[in-house]
């Protein structure tokens, strides 16, 4: 027999009636309908977690930038400085060493 | 039809987050792209290298919001494109007018997007970047170019 776990959920009489009717319309059991609904919901939640939180970050940071009078040009120039610093600190030495070793072969 | 897979550069990501509206309050190009992402019209593939830069910028320019921003970003970590290896960065150096852009170019190669999105014309819209596009079949587009591609501009 397929490995299954049992859960018990409490629903209002109205929702129970609605689900029973939907199950009948689809010619599936109430259990099958509930399982399909839970699977769909779980997939939607998982997909949601894969969405980059741009809107939330924007709601947090756009008003802060406006309050401080920060301009896009200033922020992008700072981002460029950050890129150069990260390159120097994390990557440059290893990449240059690799280039040198290939030239010496 | 699947949505367009777009790999944003850090500058574009910052523009979408911090400057979605222009000074008059209207929707900026970055804001339009943000709206299209929220509507599911495009998919963002984001590199760890890009988020590392974003983290550094937020640390310094938005210190009061750093913890909240980190909490928002944390659940997305498993979905990020991994950091490129030194050999992968070295391979894209010839396509970069500035070597510090190489980790981002290498991340884009790993992400295999339909479009690499950048408004940095000094770095990503150069003859070298054109050679990168031809070598890796990755289109490098600006915000305006992406909106045209998506039928939002003529």
Which of A44, A50, A51, A54 best tests the B interface by mutation, with the highest count of B CBs <10 A?
Answer: A54
Q: Which residues contact A21 (CB under 8 A, 6 or more apart)?
A: none
Write down all domains in chain B, each with its CATH number in brackets.
4-149 (3.40.50.1010)
Q: Least CB-CB distance to B89: which of A53, A65, A91?
A: A91
Q: Which pLDDT score is estimated for A25?
A: 93
Q: Which is more confidently placed, B2 or B113? A: B113
Measuring CA to CA, how many Å separate A32 from each of A7, A35, A41, B125? 13, 5, 14, 54
pLDDT at position B53 over 80: yes
What's B83's DSSP letter? P
Look at residues B135, B124, B132 and name the one whose alpha carbon lies nearest to residue B12.
B124
Q: Which pLDDT score is estimated for B153?
A: 86
Q: Least CB-CB distance to B103: which of A51, A91, A102?
A: A91
Interface subset of B 44-73, CB within 8 angstroms of A: 44, 46, 52-53, 56-58, 60-62, 64-65, 68-69, 72-73
ipTM of the complex: 0.92
Which of A61, A73, A81, A105 best tests the B interface by mutation, with the highest count of B CBs <10 A?
Answer: A61
Q: What is the mean pLDDT of residues A82-90?
A: 96
Distance CA B143, CA B16 (A): 10
Question: Is the CB of B153 inside 8 Å of chain A's CB atoms?
Answer: no
The answer to whether the CB atoms of B16 and A86 lie below 8 A apart is no
Q: Which pLDDT score is estimated for A51?
A: 80
Q: Tens of pLDDT along B82-136?
A: 999 999 999 999 988 899 999 999 999 999 999 999 988 877 778 888 888 888 8
Q: Least CB-CB distance to A79: which of B21, B57, B102?
A: B57
Measuring CA to CA, how many Å separate B77 from each of B47, B73, B122? 10, 7, 29
Interface subset of A 20-79, CB within 8 angstroms of B: 49-58, 60-62, 64-65, 70, 72, 75-76, 78-79
pLDDT at position B68 over 80: yes
Q: Which pLDDT score is estimated for A48?
A: 66
Q: Which pLDDT score is estimated for B77?
A: 86
Q: Which pLDDT score is estimated for A49?
A: 64
Q: Tens of pLDDT along A19-74?
A: 999 999 999 999 999 998 887 777 667 656 678 889 889 999 999 999 999 999 99
* pTM listed for this prediction: 0.79
């Amino acid at each position: 027999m397929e490995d299954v776990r049992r859960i018990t959920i409490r629903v209002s009489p109205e929702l129970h009636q609605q689900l029973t009717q939907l199950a009948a319309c689809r010619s599936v059991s109430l259990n099958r309908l509930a399982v399909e609904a839970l699977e769909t919901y779980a997939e939607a939640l998982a997909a949601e977690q894969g969405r980059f939180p741009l809107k939330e970050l924007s709601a947090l940071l756009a008003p802060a930038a406006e309050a401080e009078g920060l301009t896009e040009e200033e922020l992008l120039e700072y981002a460029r400085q950050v890129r150069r610093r990260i390159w120097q600190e994390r990557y440059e030495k290893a990449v240059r060493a690799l280039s040198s070793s290939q030239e010496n072969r | 039809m699947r949505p367009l897979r777009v790999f944003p550069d850090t500058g574009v990501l910052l523009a979408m987050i911090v400057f979605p509206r222009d000074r008059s309050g209207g929707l900026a190009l970055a804001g339009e792209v943000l709206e299209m992402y929220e509507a599911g019209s495009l998919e963002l593939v984001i590199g760890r290298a890009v988020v590392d830069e974003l983290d550094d910028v937020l640390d310094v320019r938005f210190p009061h919001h750093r913890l909240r921003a980190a909490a928002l970003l944390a659940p997305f970590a498993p979905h990020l494109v991994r950091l490129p290896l030194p050999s992968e960065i070295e391979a894209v150096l010839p396509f970069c007018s500035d070597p510090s852009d190489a980790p981002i170019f290498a991340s884009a190669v790993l992400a295999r997007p339909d479009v690499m999105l950048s408004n940095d014309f000094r770095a990503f819209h150069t003859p070298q970047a054109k050679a990168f596009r031809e070598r890796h079949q990755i289109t490098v587009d600006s915000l305006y170019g992406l909106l045209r591609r998506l039928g939002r501009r003529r």
